[in-house]
Amino acid sequence: MKANLLLLVIGLFFGTGAGFLLGQTVEGPEGHDHAAHGEPHDDDGPIATHDHSALIETDAASVRVAVTPDGPGALNVHIMPDGMSFAPEAVNATHEDGQGHAHVYVNGVKEARVYGPWIHLDGLPSGPATLRVTLNANSHEQLAHDGTPIETTTEVTIP
C-alpha cells in the first residue's frame, strides 16, 4: 500500500512538472520580446494579438500632454488629443476615423493603454525620463497623418 501511494505521489509530481514545461513550450513564456521574432503583440496580455508598429492613416489629428508630479515615483498625465475621441466601447473593433485610445511609454517601456484623458502612473523610478504618448486606432494600429505617427514626446522628471 505504501509503495502504491509513493508511486502516485511521484507520478503526480513529475506529471505536473512535465505539463508546466510543455505549456511553456507551446505558448511561450510571458514577457518574451515579440518584436525580436517579428510577431504582432499586445503588451497588456500574454497572447500575441495586435501589431502596434503598424500605421493607419487618419484625418488631421495631434496630441498634447500635460504632466504633473504626484509623489515619489508617480505622475499624473493629461492626454489631449485633437481630431480623435477616446472610444473605450469600440476597442478591438475595426478602425473608425476619429476614434481610438492612447498608449503611454516611459523610457521606451509601455506603461499603459489609456481610454480617457487622464492617467495616473506610479511605481516609476525617480529621475529624468522620456514620456511618449501615441494615439492608436480601435484596432490598435498607431494613428498617422501623411505617414507620420501621431504622438508626442516630452522630457519629465519623476520625483
Neighbours of 111 (CB within 10 A): 20
CA distance 108 to 129: 10
Residue 14 has pLDDT above 80, yes or no: no
Condensed to tens digits (0 to 9), the pLDDT of residues 2-13 reads 666 555 555 555
Instruction: Report the pLDDT value the prediction gives residue 49, as an integer from 0 to 100.
Output: 53
Q: What's the chain's average pLDDT? A: 80
Cβ-count burial of 11 within 10 angstroms (0-12 exposed, 13-18 middle, 19+ buried)? exposed
Pick the CATH number of 55-158 from 2.40.30.10, 2.60.40.10, 3.30.110.40, 1.10.10.10: 2.60.40.10
pTM of the model: 0.69
Statement: residue 21 has pLDDT above 60: no
Query: What's the pLDDT tens digit per position in 114-131?
Result: 999 999 999 999 999 999
Predicted confidence at residue 134, as pLDDT, reads: 98
**What is the spatial distance between Cα 153 and Cα 35, in angstroms, rounded to a whole number?**
21
Say whether pLDDT at 154 is over 90: yes
Task: Tell me what the mean pLDDT of segment 36-57 comes to.
Answer: 54
